[in-house]
Amino acid sequence: MTEKNIENRIIRDPGALGYANAGKVRNVRVSPTTGRVDLMILPQSGRTKLVLVEVKRAGADDAASKVAGQLIMYYVASLQIGLRGLARIRRFASEHQPAACSPSNTSLNMLAGGARSGEVAWRLLREGRKLVPKEIALFVALDGAPPRQLVDTLRFLKKNHSLRIRRAIADRRSIRVSLAV
């Protein structure tokens, strides 16, 4: 299964991760200095305000090492997003669903409602009370059993840094979330 197939499964059914009817943005830059997180899920209600999902094929060479580092980088950047900025992202996801769910790059300018520059967009996205760790959920989505090294890394991050990164395993029929880590 390709990463794009895994992303498609989650986009069709974010409820499998626990966020039914949530907004979705794909291949999105979280800040001016980060790369692009594969999926941003935007729950409509509840304690969780933002879900970041990094997708890898379980057999990929970098599945065990790179994915956790990427997700941590996106998490740190997302802690700078404000609630008014998050409202802008939700509006983009709602009003521009085809573009938001497209595999094409989603820029900060788009997220911020068509800001004229990345600098202006980032300022707009940081408006309002900043997100706090308990409002952000993190997932690694794979197409099969995670490599042992990844499981060990996720356990270490939870035990020593209280950073919980859940695993989702997607196949052609279903998505299963692992509660263990």
97 CB contacts (<8 Å, ≥6 apart)?
A: none
Specify the pLDDT at position 66: 84
With a cut of 60, say whether residue 180 has pLDDT above it: no
Which sign does the torsion angle of CA 151, 155, 161, 167 carry?
A: positive
pTM, 2 dp? 0.92
CA distances from 166 to 35, 71, 89, 169 (A): 21, 11, 23, 10
With a cut of 80, say whether residue 63 has pLDDT above it: no
Q: What percent of the chain has pLDDT over 70?
A: 97
Q: What is the pLDDT of residues 18-53, one digit of tens each?
A: 999 999 999 999 999 988 999 999 999 999 999 999
Q: E strand or H helix at 28, and its extent?
A: strand 23-29
Q: What is the pLDDT of residues 66-118, one digit of tens each?
A: 888 899 999 999 999 999 999 999 999 999 999 999 999 999 999 999 999 98
